[in-house]
Amino acid sequence: MSTFSVQVAQNPYLARGTDLVHAVVSIVASSGPAPSTGSGQAPGAPPPLPGSSGGRGGLAEAILLDCSGSMDGEKLRYSKQAVQTAVGLLREDTFFCVVAGNDRARVLTPLAIATGENKRIAASWVEDLMASGGTSMSTWLEAARAELQKAPDFIHHALLLTDGKNESEPESALKAAVHRCEGQFQCDARGVGTDWVPDQLRMISGRLLGTVDIIRSPDQIEDDFRAVIASAMSKSVADVSLRLWAPLGAEVEFCRLVYPENLDLTARARVDPANPQVRDYPTGAWGEEKRDYHVALRVKPGNVGQRMCAGRVSLISRQAGREAKLSEAMMLAVWTDDEMQSAVINPAVAHYTGQAELADTIQQGLKARAAGDEQRATALLGRAVQIASESNPETMKLLRKVVQVEDEKQGTVKLIRTVKKEDEFALDTRSTKTVRVKKPASN
């Protein structure tokens, strides 16, 4: 299991009449004693594959493999090898299933315990896969949801790989399926090559609290799968919420995950009608890791010299219908006439405000470039260079493959005429990856 600590970084001093309170909530999960494991099959799970021991563990993994016609050839060959490797890496106290997807979903191996025998049977089924048909990702996600629900007390995770657009169904069907899967499992989405749509996979992974990335060539699929599975198996605490209490009359302006990814959670709040001052934001499963969240609250302005609790942040774990508070910290507000105090922007708040702007300017800049609006694309990507040059060296490297930088500080750039599509996709999908602030200040 993990133990959690919460630290709030902010400048609590507000000028007279100011009502907006910013804070960065830094959370550290540290490893603790390993969770105990029992025995017996998961409630409601199908009969296990032959040879299953029926043991229990912490993770239930679904692997969703695109088997549409466009995957034929080396993409499917390398993908099958990657799936077999991923299944082989699973501990024997985990559950797994494999879904083969095209314009429909076929549950290749129903949810079962990851014994050696079951892994060999799954590998055999995967080896026989053929590529055909179109792409309807909603059916893949629904199949994964149905399988994972058979192990209700486990950490649910899915890995989705595709090489194409979701073009065999209306976009509304995919969005509806993703909505039904929210809170049921997390999903890391990967696109191999450059014939898929970053916005589609970003929508899936964003709503399902996962990551999205490009795999440039089929021979890199296996290494990516290894990393994703290792990350999934490192999780030890499921269904953790960031609970935000605000005083009467206050409103939540926004709540965003800002490290290691940039993800807006504002609209994802769960509100108890009996206690509308409390909002719960989903954070998914946790292992040994660090995350930062940027929270902004609008409160009723106080008098000069007044000090108040502007908000309280708690981490809440839910298991077997019970809640447990993992850690807690407070946000403060102090009104002052001293401009030397109120004008200071906390370094962590400033840093992550810039990281959010960086992601948005990159995505909008690439869209403008694709639409032929070179003037707008140049201005936006120039602004991205300004931010990245000061705060995000990895993103800066990606930007240099798309624009010729003449002046980093001024954001003066020229669009590179011939850009590899893989480089554009890498910049797009990785635009939400952030760098942690070096020295967060605490209140």
Q: Across the chain, what does the average pLDDT equal? A: 92
The number of residues in the chain equals: 443
pLDDT at position 312:
96
Q: Does pLDDT of 434 surpass 80?
A: yes
Q: Does pLDDT of 12 surpass 80?
A: yes
Q: Does pLDDT of 182 surpass 90?
A: yes
Which string of DSSP letters, residue by residue, matches 215-240?
E-SGGGHHHHHHHHHHHHHT--EEEE
Domain with CATH 2.60.40.3670 in the chain: 2-35+238-344
Average pLDDT, integer, range 199-204: 97
CATH number belonging to domain 348-432:
1.20.120.1690
pLDDT at position 153:
87
Domain with CATH 3.40.50.410 in the chain: 59-233
- What are all long-range contacts of 18-22, with beta carbons under 8 Å and residues at least 24 apart? 18/301, 18/335, 18/342, 19/298, 19/299, 19/300, 19/301, 20/253, 20/296, 20/297, 20/298, 21/296, 21/297, 21/298, 21/299, 21/310, 21/311, 21/331, 21/333, 22/294, 22/295, 22/296, 22/346, 22/349
Q: Does pLDDT of 49 surpass 70?
A: no
Average pLDDT, integer, range 61-85: 98
Q: How far apart are CA 242 and CA 72, in angstroms?
A: 43
Closest of 348, 265, 332 to residue 297, by C-alpha:
332
Q: Does pLDDT of 290 surpass 60?
A: yes
Average pLDDT, integer, range 371-397: 97
The tens digit of pLDDT for each residue in 208-245 reads 999 999 999 999 999 999 999 999 999 999 889 999 99
Q: Does pLDDT of 11 surpass 50?
A: yes
pLDDT band at residue 1 using 50, 70 and 90 as cut-offs: low
Mutual angle of helices 198-207 and 171-181, in 10-degree steps: 20
Say if CB 134 and CB 101 are below 8 A apart. no
Q: Would the CA dihedral through 209, 214, 218, 221 be positive or negative?
A: negative
Does 270 or 441 have the greater pLDDT score? 270
CATH number belonging to domain 2-35+238-344:
2.60.40.3670
Provide the 3-class DSSP secondary structure of residue 110: strand
Cα–Cα distance list, 364 to 202, 265, 384, 427, 434 (Å): 14, 20, 10, 12, 17
Closest of 210, 220, 208 to residue 184, by C-alpha:
208
pLDDT at position 42:
31
Provide the 3-class DSSP secondary structure of residue 103: coil
Q: Does pLDDT of 406 surpass 70?
A: yes
pLDDT band at residue 32 using 50, 70 and 90 as cut-offs: low
Please give the CATH architecture assigned to the domain spanning 59-233.
3-Layer(aba) Sandwich (3.40)
The tens digit of pLDDT for each residue in 240-264 reads 999 999 999 999 999 999 999 999 9
410-419 core/surface letters (b: 16 or more CB in 10 A; e: else): ebebebeeee
pLDDT at position 2:
76
pLDDT at position 224:
98
Domain with CATH 1.20.120.1690 in the chain: 348-432
Helices (H) and strands (E) in the chain, counts: 11, 19
Q: Does pLDDT of 166 surpass 90?
A: yes
SS3 content of the chain, % helix, strand, coil (to 5): 35, 35, 35
The tens digit of pLDDT for each residue in 265-281 reads 999 999 988 899 999 99
Say if CB 317 and CB 49 are below 8 A apart. no
The tens digit of pLDDT for each residue in 352-361 reads 999 999 999 9
> How far does the chain reach from its first CA to its final CA, in angstroms?
29
pLDDT band at residue 303 using 50, 70 and 90 as cut-offs: very high
